[in-house]
């Protein structure tokens, strides 16, 4: 039997002027709270170390690179790794990765209880645009600052459970969960930075954005019989509101824990990974029920083609 208390460490806003050291101190405070709850794994948001910089158009690539990490751990994040090792707590968090070859990715890493990095994921579904867009209320320049991830969707057996990662917009795509589900995933961790307003449709606000976040996370969990933890960076960041709504979802799709604020806030739940087995061996027994001969379009075609 494998069970573990999983903690979601929602972060409140991080302003442009906030240092990585200050953010890491907040992350350690949440980690200490998670230790008090007996957590074995703590999940932090996408781009956890800085403000959500893709909202800013930067023509100067030297400035862009100030938001990226060249190695992990590094000087600023080492205290987080050291505290995790002292507490014997696994963790996952997101950051902007600049590789030695000069490639830029929106990345998350997974560690074991010894604070050793056991897994890395680079965001596949990059939303937004790559040039300044005068039509939008604010910018979302992920396609400018990052390449699509090149590592695919992988799982790792970590501390007794089969774990996979995704990042923010990935949570809206069923392909994300299914690629992980086909590898027997039992826990999917997903950090996010989701604006509380749609930059292309002002009328779409907080209520609908939270609903779509829940809907995506809960359906991904149910349809693949896996726990899913979605963790936000929330609140008014550099004048731009981000949704909160961090949740831990069980393999039936039910929400076990939910953040109530838009601040630094810890949620946690006791996750029994054996509970994934029922769905995986009955209604979502993929080997028995999937009909791959009818799924060809999913990998051979991107956009919809209307032929009628």
Closer residue to ligand CDV, CB minimum distance, 110 or 126: 126
195 DSSP 8-state letter? B
Give the CA radius of gyration of the chain: 19
Q: How far is the CB of 216 from ligand CDV (least distance, A)?
A: 8
Q: How far is the CB of 270 from ligand CDV (least distance, A)?
A: 28
Closer residue to ligand CDV, CB minimum distance, 15 or 200: 200
Task: Tell me, yes or no, if 46 is annotated catalytic.
Answer: yes
Q: Cα–Cα distance between 301 and 185 in angstroms, integer?
A: 26
- CA-nearest of 59, 179, 84 to 124 is 179
Cis amide leading into 50 (omega within 30): no
Q: Cα–Cα distance between 209 and 213 in angstroms, integer?
A: 6
Cis amide leading into 73 (omega within 30): yes
Task: Tell me, yes or no, if 208 is annotated catalytic.
Answer: no
Catalytic residue (choose from 97, 168, 179, 265): 168
> Is the distance from CB of 137 to CB of 121 less than 8 angstroms?
no
Q: Cα–Cα distance between 53 and 31 in angstroms, integer?
A: 25
Q: Cα–Cα distance between 17 and 69 in angstroms, integer?
A: 17
Closer residue to ligand CDV, CB minimum distance, 115 or 243: 243
Catalytic residue (choose from 97, 123, 159, 186): 123
Contact residues for ligand CDV, defined by CB under 6 A: 46, 127, 140, 168-169, 172, 192-194
Q: Cα–Cα distance between 73 and 277 in angstroms, integer?
A: 35
Task: Tell me, yes or no, if 275 is annotated catalytic.
Answer: no
Closer residue to ligand CDV, CB minimum distance, 40 or 164: 164
Q: How far is the CB of 247 from ligand CDV (least distance, A)?
A: 14
Q: How far is the CB of 275 from ligand CDV (least distance, A)?
A: 28
Closer residue to ligand CDV, CB minimum distance, 183 or 200: 200
Q: b/e string for 139-168 if b means 16 or more Cβ within 10 A? A: bbbbebbbeebeeebbbbebbebbbbbbbb
Q: How far is the CB of 49 from ligand CDV (least distance, A)?
A: 15
Tell me which residues are annotated as active site: 46, 123, 168
């Amino acid at each position: 039997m494998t069970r573990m208390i999983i903690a979601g460490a929602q972060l409140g806003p991080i302003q442009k002027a906030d240092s990585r050291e200050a953010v890491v101190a907040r992350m350690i405070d949440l980690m200490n709270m998670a230790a008090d709850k007996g957590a074995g794994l703590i999940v932090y948001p996408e781009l956890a170390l800085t403000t959500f910089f893709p909202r800013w158009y930067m023509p100067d690539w030297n400035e862009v690179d100030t938001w990226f990490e060249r190695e992990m751990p590094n000087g600023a994040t080492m205290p987080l790794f050291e505290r995790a090792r002292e507490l014997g707590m696994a963790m996952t968090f997101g950051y902007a990765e600049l590789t030695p070859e000069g490639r830029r990715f929106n990345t998350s890493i997974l560690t074991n209880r010894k604070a050793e990095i056991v897994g890395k994921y680079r965001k596949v579904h990059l939303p937004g645009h790559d040039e300044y867009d005068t039509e939008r209320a604010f910018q979302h320049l992920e396609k400018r600052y990052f390449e699509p991830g090149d590592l695919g969707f992988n799982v790792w057996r970590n501390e007794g459970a089969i774990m996979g990662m995704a990042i923010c917009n990935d949570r809206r795509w069923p392909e994300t969960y299914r690629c992980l589900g086909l590898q027997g995933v039992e826990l999917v961790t997903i950090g996010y930075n989701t604006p509380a307003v749609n930059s292309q449709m002002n009328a779409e606000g907080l209520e609908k954005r939270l609903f779509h976040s829940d809907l995506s996370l809960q359906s991904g969990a149910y349809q693949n019989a896996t726990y899913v933890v979605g963790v936000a960076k929330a609140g008014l960041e550099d004048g731009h509101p981000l949704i909160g709504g961090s949740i831990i979802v069980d393999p039936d799709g039910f929400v076990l824990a939910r953040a109530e604020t838009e601040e630094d806030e810890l949620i946690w739940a006791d996750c029994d990974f054996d509970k994934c087995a029922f769905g995986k061996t009955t209604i979502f027994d993929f080997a028995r029920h999937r009909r791959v001969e009818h799924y060809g379009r999913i990998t051979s075609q991107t956009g919809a083609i209307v032929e009628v």
